[in-house]
Amino acid sequence: MKFTADYSKMTESNGNNDPIPKGTYEAKILDVIDGQPTPNGKEKIQVHLEIRDDLDTALPKTNGKQHRRQIWGDIWFKDKKDKYGYMLQPEDCLNLLKAAGYPDGTPFENTAQSLDTLVGGKAVKINIGINEYNGKKQNQIAFWDYYKTDYPMDPNQSKPVDVKESDLPF
């Protein structure tokens, strides 16, 4: 397959893993992982997002420079020993559900079912912050920092094709 190298479409990472600059970005939800424990045993839900690459012209200073970079937002469960007392409640997912376009009054059997429906590239606007912990800077998205997208995804946009091993001629 022929192609022409176009370096203007590269993500500005400069070969490092610096945090995504603080700001507001348009993203799509790739996955929602329930009950991910940290090394010290705290559990969280991780929202796996990717900065959209279809908005380079519309958002040249944010999405245009950081497209296709991935980020994970955490929603924490309560730890009885934790002084902050975080506890995942269905309400903690409401900002995410509203941002993904679910109408008020949409019924869900439980929190896990509501999160499962988010998987598959739903578009949301996110506010990315930077947190410093033990001298290391990392991105952070609070559970209230999900908003309805300003740029709905085109339903006719090409979707990834699932190619099975048996489909290959070699």
User: DSSP states of 42-94 as a string?
Assistant: -EEEEEEEEE-SS-TTTSTTTHHHHTT-EEEEEEEPP-TT-TT-----GGGGH
The whole-angstrom separation of Cα 26 and Cα 50 is 9
Query: DSSP states of 101-154 as a string?
Result: TPPTT---SSHHHHHHTTTTT-EEEEEEEEEEETTEEEEE--TT-EE--SSPPP
Average pLDDT of the residues of the chain = 80
Residue from 134, 129, 139 nearest 70 by CA: 139
Q: Candidates 2.40.10, 2.40.50, 2.60.40, 3.40.50; correct CATH number of 19-151?
A: 2.40.50
pLDDT at residue 12 is higher than 70: no
pLDDT at residue 151 is higher than 90: yes
Q: What is the DSSP letter of 157?
A: S
pLDDT at residue 159 is higher than 60: no
> Would you state the structure tokens that stand for residue 157, as one six-digit string?
């946009």
For 52-99, write each residue's pLDDT tens digit. 999 999 999 999 999 999 998 887 766 555 555 545 555 667 888 888
Domain ranges for the chain:
19-151
Given this model, what pLDDT does residue 56 score?
92
| pTM of the model as a whole | 0.73
